[in-house]
Structure 1
């Protein structure tokens, strides 16, 4: 079994390592050739210096996996790789791409006889050891050809991966997965913030997190990670209160509106991320001035740069 892997960042490199350990031949390319050379020495990945070399080193019909940032970068590489492929080849998009983009791309590639498989991948930096959850969309025969790859990447051959449906369905399921993730993270953050606010109780947040990991209905891997970092730092004073959003939370909220399905927790969790990025600052200043206007309430001066 052989696979071309384009994009050897944190996720792509670890996936290549796991695939090699599982006996899959991996032809790898990264824009930084030093990364590719390192993986070649460490894991036995066959190094390619260009995208063209990845395709040339594979025996037709080829399997090529893109593990790149979603959006323009992925589109550029699809545009570059597609002319190099032939009828019967399969291209996998493992990015967090918007599912409607995946549907469109699959239709366009089908005109060339190339099949697109959209694979939503979850597992982060721990996936290399624990396995990845894989949410897969695409043509049945194309997915079947990739079955060995999915079985190696997943936590177990029969667990942690699923052919969800036609093209776009894998990224759709991953999008909703990430929306749920936003809501769970927000709930934990609010809960621990509320616990911390009762300083008179002298609560040990690390001990509480550890307690909840065992037998509680709120136990989860997110709680495991929370318990781990609270062991060394409960104040988090050196951490900037800024939480990025990758885009999938936005797509989930928009999809809920378009489908008319209420999703208040996921939507509000997204709004809180915007707030952490300072996007509520002007509105908060407006509120302060309105309150001053109708009630004469004092306004707290802002900090000057």
Structure 2
């Protein structure tokens, strides 16, 4: 099957390479020349512009977008729309907000263009292990593109599926990432407790390795946690700053809108925000309060 890949960053290029390895013809485009050159070295045919990318694909075309969520998706769609024909398919494999996806799908449907949203999980390991794909959109179009999804998934018949209409794929991936926040936070807190118990001198990598086999908390996240600790036990050079790419915030907002209690996901998001406060006014004020009401000592900054 023939596919155009728009966006040849690390994940987009990995997905393209996996498809090529399964016998699919992929033509890729990225605005960065270095990204295009790197993709070319991986047997991926590249085009220097979106115009030339579309020209190299036969109708009914299939284009997979791996670009950052938000304005980048809208601007890419605006550039692509005049180049496409009725019956073409666009797949957004990034982490777009599902509400934006529903809006875009309705707009493109008015031009006779199919729009699928594909929540994609697997990170840098997906090239080797396969990707988990949560797909929203027209069922017949998803079925027609089964060979692509089957090639990207860990197994042709598992790890992927159409989960509902337009928006459902990105909604499901949003919740997936919210859960991921909570799981990561729990692991981080647990290992921090063990690291602080200095009299036991625990080998945290050993503990992680034990838990990876047979334990009820075993998971892929624990696997990569064990790798991180093995390579850098004291986490030297790693700043205590945890970014978030939006999905956790959207999950918390959705939980509030739906009157669903989600304290673990919410607190894990707040902990990420807290990690960025190098000079916390709130913490200073708490210390000052304790001094005012109880005369507790205040540690002075240097």
Give matches, 1:198-209, under 5 Å: 198-209=197-208
Q: Does the 8 A contact of 1:69 with 1:96 survive in 2?
A: yes
Q: Structure 1 CA distance, aligned partners of 2:281 and 2:269?
A: 18
The equivalent of 2:6 in structure 1 is 6
Q: Structure 2 CA distance, aligned partners of 1:41 and 1:234?
A: 35
Q: Structure 1 CA distance, aligned partners of 2:115 and 2:42?
A: 30
The equivalent of 1:96 in structure 2 is 95
The equivalent of 2:185 in structure 1 is 186
Q: Structure 2 CA distance, aligned partners of 1:157 and 1:174?
A: 20
Q: Structure 2 CA distance, aligned partners of 1:64 and 1:243?
A: 33
Q: Per-residue deviation at 1:285? A: 1.3
Q: Does the 8 A contact of 1:274 with 1:280 survive in 2?
A: no
Q: Structure 2 CA distance, aligned partners of 1:280 and 1:245?
A: 20
**TM-score normalised by structure 2 residue count:** 0.97
Q: Per-residue deviation at 1:283? A: 1.2
Shifted more, 177-186 versus 272-281: the winner is 272-281
Aligned-residue Cα RMSD (Å) equals 1.3
Q: Per-residue deviation at 1:40? A: 2.5
The equivalent of 1:266 in structure 2 is 265
> In structure 2, do the counterparts of structure 1 residues 67 and 152 end up closer, same or farther at CA, with 3 Å as the change threshold?
same
Shifted more, 280-289 versus 215-224: the winner is 280-289
The equivalent of 2:40 in structure 1 is 40
Give matches, 1:114-263, under 5 Å: 114-263=113-262
Q: Structure 2 CA distance, aligned partners of 1:147 and 1:165?
A: 15
The equivalent of 1:20 in structure 2 is 20
The equivalent of 1:64 in structure 2 is 63
Shifted more, 75-84 versus 154-163: the winner is 75-84
Q: Per-residue deviation at 1:280? A: 8.1
* Cα deviations by residue, 1:105-124 (Å, 9 ceiling, x for unpaired): 10111111111100011101
Q: Structure 1 CA distance, aligned partners of 2:202 and 2:41?
A: 49
Q: Structure 2 CA distance, aligned partners of 1:261 and 1:255?
A: 8
> In structure 2, do the counterparts of structure 1 residues 196 and 72 end up closer, same or farther at CA, with 3 Å as the change threshold?
same
SS in 2 for 1:224: helix
Q: Per-residue deviation at 1:248? A: 0.2
Q: Structure 1 CA distance, aligned partners of 2:37 and 2:280?
A: 46
Structure 1: runs of 5+ lacking an equivalent = none
Structure 2: runs of 5+ lacking an equivalent = none
Q: Does the 8 A contact of 1:135 with 1:174 survive in 2?
A: yes
Q: Structure 1 CA distance, aligned partners of 2:32 and 2:152?
A: 24
Q: Per-residue deviation at 1:96? A: 0.2
* Cα deviations by residue, 1:78-110 (Å, 9 ceiling, x for unpaired): 111122111111111111000011011101111
Q: Structure 2 CA distance, aligned partners of 1:42 and 1:239?
A: 31
Q: Structure 1 CA distance, aligned partners of 2:162 and 2:25?
A: 23
SS in 2 for 1:278: coil
